[in-house]
Chain A
Amino acid sequence: METILVLTHVDETSSALTKASLEAVTAGVELARQLSATLTIGILGSASVEAANSAAGAVAATGARLLAVSGGAFAQPRYATDTAGGEALARAAQASIVLAPGSSRFVRVSAGVAHRLGGFIDTHITALSSNDSVDATRWFYRQRVEAAISREARPWFLLLDAGTHAPFAGEPAAAQVEAVTVTLPPVRTTVEGLRSPMRDAQTIRPDAKLLFVAGAGWTKKQPDGQIHVAVAGELILSFLRLSGASLGSSKSLADQKAEGEESVLPFLSHMNQIGQTGSTPRHAKGLSTCCHGEEPHVVGWRFVGERRAISLDPNCGWTRGKADVVYVADAFQVMAKVNALLRARSS
């Protein structure tokens, strides 16, 4: 019989599990039911006993064990300490299958934990199913090829992509937590905190309903023969403010530098980039503007629900078959009017 461990971690408040962790709890509860498996939830974090209460509903529903490693060493994500904590939790649970969210914290350490346990790991899992075996679905070649995989070897670590399961929504309650002791290795890395590279505004909003994708066309010559980068920047930022959208960028736009090695649109960095060397975010809707290329429309849009594009090229092969609607129009004109309508609506 399989023993499933859902590895979770606390959010920045240290008093609750992250949304991605709660999604992994849902996946664990579902898989445990399908396999009639034993379920354990493991929590990593500085004040994880408090955070455990948010997983108490899963404990009540399934009879799961609740394990936690806690202490100052786990207050911040760090390879040496998190690997030790994850290893301790997995050993205590004697897990044959370990599910974990594909968060930056667990992406950093889970392969190391799997290796230390003599196990194997697969990541970016988008679906799990079980018949005779446990099958996991994931993408290869930057979201171009989809495969279902299975492994006989155990323990098997599976990192789940965010947004593939609903967050577990059981009622918070007082939970019985078993504290797991960790022997910490020498710590050579000090985490100093977080830094936002955005000077003007935070333009990456993973929870936004809309992804707005800006392409290099915003920086090209316009019908008057001039470049209007400042106008483009103002239009884009205004739209983001008014709509609450998250900003994505094509590689060609993110790569453009002005004098002083700064992006031509100063609020834009490579972290906005979607596609081949960027992200593949999950948003309900996506609007691409001035984009001509495969990467934003294929790789970057793979997990975007409804897709529309504004392009001057009616024959753009990358949008055909990828977008639901293509408006053949000047994005400068359209977005100015969109902003005016949104401004009027908000006032």
Chain B
Amino acid sequence: MAQALQIVVCAGIVPDPLQTLEPVSGPNGPGLKNEMVLPAVLDPWAACALYEAAQLVAKNPGSKLWLVSLGPKAKLQQVMMTVGQKAAFELVPVDGPIGGFPDAHSTAAALAEAIAALPGLDRERLLLFGGWESATRGAGVTLQLVGERLGIADQFQGVDQITLRDDGSFEVLERVEGGKHQVSVCAGTPAVLGWATGNLSEPRNNPQTGMANMRGIMPALQKAKHVELAANGLRYVSVNLPKQQRETRIEKNMTADEIARELVEWIGAE
């Protein structure tokens, strides 16, 4: 039986993973060199959460999907041109700093405030989605902190699957150690789900979805509230690129037998 869901996905924007990153010091703390001009994408784990949410909404008529994203308006607009073609959602932009160095607690406070103010949101029916970590800070705490601020006491992290049941309960598979899933059944909403990869492929771009989304995205970006993120006493002692560069031996002329013998010896060596 279909249920009308209310899903909020929290998703940040991150530099395209193939970009070269160089940390620099600025007046507000560390950042990345040319950060505002680096091509950006939706955070990969959060993107998985968005696609899972979009599929749930599509399967459950009457459902609604919000995408809450904190970042500079200009970068959000650039990323949403692409993301908006992959899933139908209502964008809730929060204009704020980019990158992984701002404090997660401040980020969570800004996101929670934006979610609490969503018109028409029934918090008792809320499924709060996001990535279990970001590709910037990678702390894996922001979503939990948002959930705590919204008073949600059922939280799941490293989620790969949610299965809704007719009685409003749902089964969740969470990644745990050793390549296994913990299976839990939650009595119902509200709940927080921090997604790992899930099981869906990235949806293809759909220009019609993109056109429909953009009608809401542009006005939302224009009205986006600006936030400053407090450091909360977080101090960066040093920020560096790892210096390790290996001297790679490239073997072009060894036979398969020779390579195999060398590998077996290497594998067995202590």
Contact = CB atoms under 8 A, between A and B. Distances in A.
B61 interface: no
A188 B248 contact: no
Contact of A80 (B15, B153, B238, B248): B153
A323 B251 contact: no
Interface in B225-270: 232-242, 245-252, 254, 256-257, 259-261, 263-264, 266-268
Contacts of A149: 234-237
Interface in A104-137: 104-105, 107-112, 114-116, 120-124, 133, 135
Given A104-B175, A333-B256, A325 B248 contact: yes
A78 B184 contact: yes
B141 to A, nearest CB: 4
B201 to A, nearest CB: 7
A120 B153 contact: no
B240 to A, nearest CB: 6
A145 B259 contact: no
Interface string B65-102: 00000000000000000000000000000000000110
Contact of A150 (B23, B187, B235): B235
Contacts, number: 271
Interface string A145-181: 1111111110000000000000000000000000000
B260 A276 contact: no
B219 interface: no
A261 B268 CA distance: 37
Interface stretch (A36-44, A51-59, A338-346): A338-346
Overall SS of chain B's interface: mixed
A230 interface: no
Given A149-B235, A321-B248, A323-B248, A196 B186 contact: no
A277 interface: yes
B86 to A, nearest CB: 15
Interface residues of A, number: 102
Contact of B135 (A107, A142, A193, A328): A142
A270 B45 CA distance: 12
Contacts of A271: 160, 175, 179, 196
A72 interface: no
B213 interface: no
A217 B193 CA distance: 34
Contact of A322 (B18, B138, B239, B246): B246
Contacts of A144: 21, 241-242
Interface stretch (B1-9, B116-124, B144-152): B144-152
A112 B154 CA distance: 11
Given A145-B240, A270-B199, A203 B179 contact: yes
Given A319-B248, A333-B256, 12 more contacts: A78-B184, A104-B158, A108-B144, A111-B140, A123-B140, A189-B186, A194-B180, A270-B160, A276-B135, A321-B246, A329-B254, A338-B264
Interface of B: 14-15, 17-18, 21, 23, 30, 32, 44-45, 48, 100-101, 103-105, 135-141, 144-145, 147-149, 153-158, 160, 171, 173-188, 196-199, 201, 232-242, 245-252, 254, 256-257, 259-261, 263-264, 266-268
26 contacts: A103-B177, A104-B157, A104-B182, A111-B144, A111-B145, A112-B147, A120-B232, A120-B234, A122-B139, A123-B141, A142-B17, A144-B242, A147-B30, A148-B237, A186-B153, A196-B181, A204-B178, A270-B160, A277-B135, A307-B246, A325-B248, A325-B249, A328-B251, A334-B263, A342-B264, A345-B264
